[in-house]
Amino acid sequence: MAKVTIQKLQEMKNKGEKISYITAYDYGQATLVEKSGIEMILVGDSMSMTMLGNDSTVPLSTDAMIHHIKAVVKGAQTPMIVGDLVFGSYNESSKQAIRSANRLIKEGGCDTVKLEGCMPEVVARMVEGGIGVQGHIGLTPQTAGLLGGFKLQGKNLDAAKKIIDQAKSLEQAGAFSIVVECVPEELGRAITNAVSIPVIGIGAGRYCDGQVLVYHDLLGLFDKFAPKFVKKYANIGEQVVKALEEYKQEVKDVKFPSDEYVFGGLSKDDLKGFL
């Protein structure tokens, strides 16, 4: 299968073909996403919570992000791999943003980067510098505290207009796509119609050009909290606990390892005197 490019995603939007997008954070997860045919992988800073047990995405470092991008890149050849710029790595200046994005691409090996918020001048400079940038507006988890917490955004006309304007200015700055998180469905539709680049929703309704979900949420691997917009397609966490409990019991009952899992080669007689 050919690598998914910015051009391919744009073609998909133009044809009305929906884009599927999911997070992944390590080699094993990436190999499974590759097999599924999903078009995009986000090495998201959500790993701070799902993989590293932090309470928010804020503490994650660029070094940690690069470490995970490298593993994902080895596991998935076809999807576009987007590296998430971590909090504090792009909010000082365009220079800082370009330096951080260069590291994710050169050291990590991802194809493009994503950043939260609306900083069109920064995005424009990054794009001029040859970096593919995906925006992220609506609920932006890195700065959720400023937005009243993990809450629905754009609930009234003024707030909705502001988010539509942000989408337009990101498009104008040269972003190749925008993620819109946790907004009313009709606002998701309005944003998707307002710009010509692909709009990917997470809790933004059915009319976006594509959908993104967090790997651990979709598979039932994270149970600290579950936003309304998450559909659990499997409950792998429960299956893992069941398997671990069964293993533990078989060890205690000396049922594991049974015949098929042990090596012959020496008999009791051979080791007479030692047993």
In the complex, the residues that contact ligand KIV under the rule CB under 6 A are 23, 42, 44-46, 84, 136, 179, 181, 202, 212, 214
Per DSSP, what are the bridge partners of residue 179?
A: 136, 200
Q: How far is the CB of 182 from ligand KIV (least distance, A)?
A: 9
Q: Which of 109, 90, 238, 117 is nearest to 175 (CA)?
A: 117
**Nearer residue to ligand KIV within complex by CB, 105 or 204:** 204
Catalytic residue among 181, 186, 250, 260, which?
Answer: 181
Residue 181 falls in the annotated catalytic set: yes
Q: How far is the CB of 8 from ligand KIV (least distance, A)?
A: 20
**Nearer residue to ligand KIV within complex by CB, 34 or 45:** 45
Q: How far is the CB of 217 from ligand KIV (least distance, A)?
A: 9
**How remote is the C-alpha of 135 from its chain's centroid?**
14
Which position's Cβ is nearest ligand KIV?
44
**Nearer residue to ligand KIV within complex by CB, 34 or 84:** 84
**Nearer residue to ligand KIV within complex by CB, 57 or 169:** 57
- The values of phi and psi at residue 119, to 5°, are -130, 75
Q: Which of 113, 205, 212 is nearest to 160 (CA)?
A: 205
Tokens matching residue 84: 């998430």
Q: Regarding beta strands 19-23 and 40-43, do their DSSP bridges make them parallel or antiparallel, or are they unpaired?
A: parallel
**Nearer residue to ligand KIV within complex by CB, 2 or 146:** 146
Q: How far is the CB of 116 from ligand KIV (least distance, A)?
A: 7
Tokens matching residue 214: 């967090």
Q: How far is the CB of 21 from ligand KIV (least distance, A)?
A: 8
User: Side-chain half-sphere of 170: how many Cα atoms within 13 Å?
Assistant: 33
User: Side-chain half-sphere of 113: how many Cα atoms within 13 Å?
Assistant: 30
- Dihedral sign, Cα of residue 266, residue 271, residue 274, residue 275: positive
Residues marked as catalytic: 181
